Amino acid sequence: MNNVAKYEVILLALCKARAMGPPQIIISTDSQVAAGHIDKSYQAWNLELTRYLAAFRKAETHF
């Protein structure tokens, strides 16, 4: 699933950014679904994407 791949890349980027230590980051994606979930304009209904969104929410607390 393409949206899963997009979330995988976003989570990997967050992990790498966290290791580098910036206080904040800007995330850019061409995935309208992932961007909509992240900025809360879309609701995640798919169970798999809901899990990725939860992982994102946990990771974003470090910035």
Residue 33 has what pLDDT? 95
Distance of CA 40 to the CA centre of its chain: 12
Q: With cut-offs at 50, 70 and 90, classify the pLDDT of residue 1.
A: low
Is the pLDDT score of 15 beyond 90? Answer: yes
Say how far apart CA 15 and CA 32 lie, in whole Å.
Answer: 21
On average, the pLDDT of the chain sits at: 94
Asked if pLDDT for residue 37 goes beyond 80, the answer is yes
Confidence of residue 22 (pLDDT cuts 50, 70, 90): confident
Looking at residue 4, what is its pLDDT? 95
- Residue 10, classified by CB atoms within 10 Å of its CB into exposed (0-12), middle (13-18) or buried (19+), is buried
